[in-house]
Amino acid sequence: MTSKGTPLPLHDTLRDLALLRASSVDLSGLIADDPTSSQAPREVEGVEESTIQSFAFVREVRTALRMHNSGEAQKQATRIEKVQVELVDVLRSLSD
């Protein structure tokens, strides 16, 4: 299997390793000791919940953008303003 170029240039790899060493990053702390620990399912649940919330947020934003771009929001705002004016008129007539 031949590659079309060096996938990890030695110079860049050595520089990255030197930066990791200088920053005192403990790479062993990033890997879980026991993949079947009770912590893993909670993390997975958290990730799944976060993903579901992200999808819901994106869906709501897309709906809002569609509504804004279609001019529907402006139409609704105009209707609300008309109703507010009518209600103010009704209140004035009741108070007289």
pLDDT tens-place string over residues 2-44: 556 667 788 888 888 888 888 877 777 777 666 555 556 777 7
User: What's the rounded Cα separation, in Å, for the pair 91 and 93?
Assistant: 5
pLDDT on residue 33? 64
Under 8 Å between Cβ of 42 and 49: no
User: What's the rounded Cα separation, in Å, for the pair 17 and 27?
Assistant: 11
Which tens digit of pLDDT belongs to each residue from 36-86?
A: 555 567 777 888 888 999 999 999 999 888 888 888 888 889 999 999 999
pLDDT class of 1 with cuts at 50, 70, 90: very low
Under 8 Å between Cβ of 73 and 67: yes
